[in-house]
Amino acid sequence: MNAQKLKLKRSERRSYRVRRDIYGTPERPRLSVFRSNLHISAQLIDDLNGVTVAAATSAGKKSGLKHGANIKAATEIGKKLAEAAKAKGVTKAAFDRGPFRFHGRIAALAVAATEAGLICTDLAAMKAKQAAATAQGEEAKAKGGDAKPKADGKQKGEGKPKGEGKPGGEGKPKGEGKPKGDFAMKDKGEKK
């Protein structure tokens, strides 16, 4: 299987795994997000009736965005979707990230929608997680600030200089051994 097919297959597996547990209802529709290289779009889907409740996208002139492939555009789309959902009477949504990781533009859209009134993520849990990560990073800096020698006794910069590989006599000799593949190579001097 080539690399592109494998990548697509993994993406499909991720989206199926995420959507397996999420089901949109009229009271709590599924907030499905799609991210491309140039734009981002989101829609609220009622899976029970098979209807799109509200949608917003960064593509087109109606969006009012110059660039749709950044975090600023994602936050704007999240706010617009939350306003459209409020107009329809929807206050909660089940967030469906699809095959995308929950970071960057995807997370920015979810946070903006939640802050605008469409509850789809737990902001308190996200802030606690970020605070724990920064505290852990500060601890690592405090520990790493000491000029301790490495376990093997070498200081930074000691050892082999870059560019020196194996000495000339070592290593596998080239051009010897069995040929790769299913066919047997014939001697050069032999002709039929």
In a domain, 79, yes or no: yes
> Stretch 136-162: mean pLDDT, rounded?
65
**What is the model's pLDDT at position 63?**
83
CA distance 6 to 115: 37
Which residues does 19 contact at the CB level (< 8 Å), separation at least 6?
Answer: 96, 98
> Stretch 72-96: mean pLDDT, rounded?
93
β-strands 94-96, 51-57: how paired? Answer: unpaired
In a domain, 113, yes or no: yes
pLDDT, greater one: 137 or 4: 4
In a domain, 192, yes or no: no
Q: Is the pTM of this model over 0.95?
A: no
In a domain, 141, yes or no: no
Domain count, the chain: 1
Domain that holds residue 92: 8-133
Cβ neighbour number for residue 22 with a 10 Å cutoff: 17
The CATH number that applies at residue 41 is 3.30.420.100
Closest C-alpha among 86, 87, 83, 105 to residue 34? 105
Under the banding of pLDDT at 50, 70 and 90, the label for residue 140 is confident
In a domain, 107, yes or no: yes
Under the banding of pLDDT at 50, 70 and 90, the label for residue 165 is low
Give bridge partners of residue 46 from the DSSP assignment. Answer: 51
In a domain, 30, yes or no: yes
